[in-house]
Amino acid sequence: MPVDHRTRQPLGYLHGGASVALAETVASVGAFQLIDREKEICFGLEINANHLRPKRDGKVTAEGTVIHRGRTTQVWEVKIKDENNHLICISRCTIAVVKKEQERK
């Protein structure tokens, strides 16, 4: 994700909300790959983030790892790093796995 005018807060640093949005996107896409897409859907349930290092420009990348893969929830750890592999943010995201409407009947 670029760190530029679209993702900076008013003081010129990467906005924490942008980092959290990136983390939840990574966790959600990962979770989607692990469910039965014919019968289930997934939603973000809870997220937290620790912003560890400021970032003014360049780009950041995120990598997610599933920590728990249960029947109704998944827990993901997402690490956001800069071009020099410095850890910018670490996040934990809980994803709800829900049966689709037609499967509940």
**Prediction pTM value:** 0.93
- The predicted structure's pLDDT at residue 92: 99
State the CATH number of the domain containing residue 62.
Answer: 3.10.129.10
Containing domain of residue 84, as a range? Answer: 2-104
Q: How many folded domains does the chain comprise?
A: 1
Q: Half-sphere exposure of residue 64, counting CA atoms within 13 Å on the CB side? A: 24
**pLDDT (tens digit per residue) in 1-59:** 999 999 999 999 999 999 999 999 999 999 999 999 999 999 999 999 999 999 999 99
Tell me if residue 24 is catalytic. yes
Q: Which residues contact 100 (CB under 8 A, 6 or more apart)?
A: 39, 40, 41
Q: Which of 24, 77, 83, 103 is catalytic?
A: 24
